[in-house]
Amino acid sequence: MNKKTLKDINFENKKVIVRFDFNVPISDGTITDDKRIKATLATIKYLQDHNAKIIMLSHLGRVKTEEDKQKKTLAPIAKKLAELANYPVTFIDETRGKKLEAAINNLKAKDLLLIENTRFEDLNGKKESGNDPELGTYWASLAEVFVNDAFGTAHRAHASNVGIATYIGDSCVGFLIEKELTMLNKIVLNPSRPFVAVLGGAKVSDKIDVIKQLLNKADTVIIGGAMAYTFMKALGYSIGNSLVENDKIDLAKELIELGKEKLVLPIDYVTVSEFKDIPGTNTKDCNIADNQMGLDIGIETVKLFNAKLQTAKTVFWNGPVGVFEMNNFARGTEAICETIANLKDAFTLVGGGDSAAAVGKFHYEDKVSFISTGGGASLEYVEGKPLPGIEAIKNKL
């Protein structure tokens, strides 16, 4: 990677503005999963050890109305971060203005300051997510160096990543992004073989480019989840009331032709008459009755997918193969988790999002090589697309 990293910059007594990803689940003001906050601690410690004055930014969810502000404040994150970093965090409940500027001017080396949710700026013309140059310039003016360590938003060009990087004197990536790219490069550049990709989730349209890319790169591409029904319909099977993208059937036919024996599809399903967590029925083959919908892969498909995974030396998994949030339709996704977790001498990367949630639900976090913090960003990187939030960072000299 030719981008500057933390070790390429002298932070001594400098004001440093850092884009983190503190987009964590919060219920009734309580953080229910703090993994993303913990993932920032290495970068924070490095900056403190090098006497930086640390100004932090993050988004939290989408902010569309004034009422959203109450639920989407970063105040609970400031509190949790102070506890995890074992250091006080000054929280400023504004995204710009005199109060913020005065607090930044009072920072001493090692101090931590957190600015309010960057998406509050979206209430006035989508200034954050639209990468408004005036906002990017303003945030850049608050510091001397920018550190981007938010991999989860690296595939988006926002004011808080691309904007700041464009208008500030110096910039680099933090430890989290550096690790993400190192790990993803084990898949993208020279994977150990056999290389098996497992792609699930709801929509073929979300994964067209990555399927094409992986059909060129991987030895086997397994398709599960709701997007499999579009492929099955393309092959002429009946899919009942299962989710399907009718406008993508011709595309699915193209991918089937392109993939040939590399592309592995389900051979049976667990079906039910309505979208509820009630016991389902295993189909006898690939056909689903008219009044039924598939919500999980079936027993024979679990065996087929597991057989394909058994010899893998590299695995990339993005997207569950069933509605794993419902216990009656979790078996397929849990089986994939278990098989990947038990592979010997294999590099296994879980591509964020729902796959990461599934690995957490079934307690296999410690049994996979790496769990990406960015579902969309990891997919786009594997597709070979440039990530704007990283492209904007200064190159090494």
Q: Which residues are catalytic?
A: 36, 203, 353, 376
Binding site for substrate, by residue number, is: 21-23, 36, 59-62, 119, 156
Binding site for (2R)-3-phosphoglycerate, by residue number, is: 36, 119, 156
The answer to whether 160 and 19 are in contact (CB under 8 A) is: yes
Binding site for ATP, by residue number, is: 207, 294, 325, 352-355
Binding site, by residue number, is: 21-23, 36, 59-62, 119, 156, 207, 294, 325, 352-355
